[in-house]
Amino acid sequence: MNDMQHDFNSQIQRYSILGVRRLSNFLWTFILFIGSSGFLLTGFSCYFNKPLFPFLNYENIQFFPQGLIMIFYGFLGFFLSFYLGLTIFWGLGSGFNEFNKRDSYVRIFRWGFPGKNRRMNFYYSWNDILGIRVEFKQGLNSQYILFLQIRGKKEIPLTHMGELLTFEEVEKQASALAKFLQVSLSIK
């Protein structure tokens, strides 16, 4: 039984994709919520001319235009933090990449926005796999992205755009995957 389980595991490889549920997104959502709440409380304290929290110092701020602008930015930040919180709750972009040698298919699964097309579930034939490509994206957040090349289709990114992996990690993952799929590997 152990050999069969080992044989089963060597025939199927599954890689989890984290999506937006990363610690940095949790932190930014929390910071944005706290900051926007401070702006809202200060702006409304100016409007009502009394502190809504005892530690707020609003006396040097006039309601028009500073207090009104603080309320505007407070609402803007609050709704942005609410939106980011929803994307984290929904797990946007999370899913998995499954490579099934036993049944000859590749499955790419991701969660999207709620609605009719929330589940993005793509199946590709094993014979349509052309190769694996690693690309280096330069810019503010330079990163390496792993692509699956499919015959007659666009290349499919296998790593999440926000994942910051070193070249060694991407190269190791790409070479192991190319060896498992028995396809070529190109690095650009």
pLDDT tens figures, 3-38? 333 345 588 899 888 889 889 999 999 999 999 999
The residues spanned by each domain of the chain are 2-18+101-187, 25-90
pLDDT tens figures, 114-162? 999 999 999 999 999 999 999 887 777 677 888 999 998 889 888 765 5
| Stronger pLDDT, 53 or 71, i.e. the higher one | 71
Give the DSSP per-residue string, the chain: -HHHHHHHHHHEEEEEE-TT--HHHHHHHHHHHHHHHHHHHHHHHHHHTS-SSTT---TT--IIIIIHHHHHHHHHHHHHHHHHHHHHHHTTT-EEEEEETTTTEEEEEEE-SSSTT-EEEEEEEGGGEEEEEEEEEPSTT-EEEEEEEETTS--EE-S-TT----HHHHHHHHHHHHHHHT-EEEE-
Q: What is the pTM of this model?
A: 0.78
- For domain 2-18+101-187, the question of CATH label 2.30.29 is answered with yes
The answer on pLDDT for 75 being more than 90 is yes
| Stronger pLDDT, 97 or 5, i.e. the higher one | 97
Q: Rounded mean pLDDT of the chain?
A: 86
